[in-house]
Structure 1
Amino acid sequence: MTKTLILMRHAKSSWNHPGLDDHDRPLNKRGRRSAEVLGNWLRKKGYLPDEVLCSDAVRTKETLGGLRIDPDKVEYLPELYRATANQILRVLNRATGDMVLLIAHNPGIAGFAEGIVEEPPEHPRFLDYPTGATLVVEFDDDRWDRVKWRGGRVLDFVVPRELLQE
């Protein structure tokens, strides 16, 4: 049996409130639209997670809400806010679903994405992992606690700009 990870960076956030704490920044209009098209893409491709591990920041929660998916289990985790790649791996190792969506932030998510795959996708935006970037990775194991660096096979990678142009 395999496990599938959907690794998503939050959609574009707003900078319109200068005094607002970074953790509390919401999505902007483009971010809300990006979350919507990413949700459509996930449904079209059949990438429907049964578990979501999401940073507890406002913009990651709003990204998840904009996807309009209905997973069995959702956890909002403070340890995914400003998480390093190693911290993200530790969180993923505790997952229980078969298809897990993990939503977090740069720079940790970019480092995690690069480190978790056997070979990176041939995409010009993969290494900088822009807002809304979404990677789908499959692991040949039936337990998340055995997932290790360089163990994932890329199934898909997309950035919202590509979906908004369709």
Structure 2
Amino acid sequence: MRRLVLIRHAKSDWGDEGTRDHDRHLAERGRHDAPRMGAWLQAQGLVPGLVLCSTATRTRETLALMLPEWAEQPQVEHRAELYAAAPATLLKAARESGAESVALVAHNPGIGALAAQMAVAAPEHPKFRRYPTAAITVLEFDEAMAAGRGRVLAFAVPKDL
């Protein structure tokens, strides 16, 4: 069994037009939502053993706010190739990690598209296809991580909590 946790960064701040996209921080709402989503993962017993995180400021901040909510601290790797990555790049990183339980903290449209591609069936949640900020999908695979082979164990967005 392998598990893949797909986390979109929490709501970012668009207030400073001079800030490069890579360097945008979380908005107040994002700083509120990220720890709540981390606590949700902990309560579900779905905290990953390895987290691969984009190097963008907003993904790093999202993860930093989730980590204190987890009883067991995962190994964390920050990866530049995950910034604004396509689904194929994200999947390659997860597969090559070799971890039984790996999370990706990344960006839309890639992370949402990957969730849709990997699921055997989309969850009956009105926001799954939109994949809003701080959305999390947890998929489980009997064999290799392959498109259309993941069972959705859980999906949530901050408004669900």
The bucket for the TM-score relative to the shorter chain is: over 0.9
Partner Cα separation in structure 1 for residue 91 and residue 5 of structure 2: 13
Structure 2 counterparts to residues 43-58 of structure 1, below 5 A: 43-58=42-57
Structure 2 counterparts to residues 82-161 of structure 1, below 5 A: 82-141=84-143, 146-161=144-159
Residue type at the aligned position of 2:79: L
Q: Deviations over 1:120-159 (max 9, x none)?
A: 1011100110000100110102xxxx32111100000000
Q: Which residue of 2 aligns with 1:24?
A: 23
- Percent identical pairs in the alignment equals 44
Q: Normalising by structure 1, what TM-score?
A: 0.91
Structure 2: gaps spanning 5 or more residues: none
Offset at residue 100 of structure 1 (A): 1.2
Offset at residue 3 of structure 1 (A): 0.9
Structure 2 counterparts to residues 49-68 of structure 1, below 5 A: 49-67=48-66, 68=68
Offset at residue 41 of structure 1 (A): 0.5
- Contact preservation (8 Å) 2:2, 2:145: no
Q: Which residue of 1 aligns with 2:36?
A: 37
Q: Which moved more, 1:69-78 or 1:105-114?
A: 69-78
- Contact preservation (8 Å) 1:6, 1:137: yes
Structure 1: gaps spanning 5 or more residues: none
Offset at residue 111 of structure 1 (A): 1.0
Residue type at the aligned position of 2:7: M
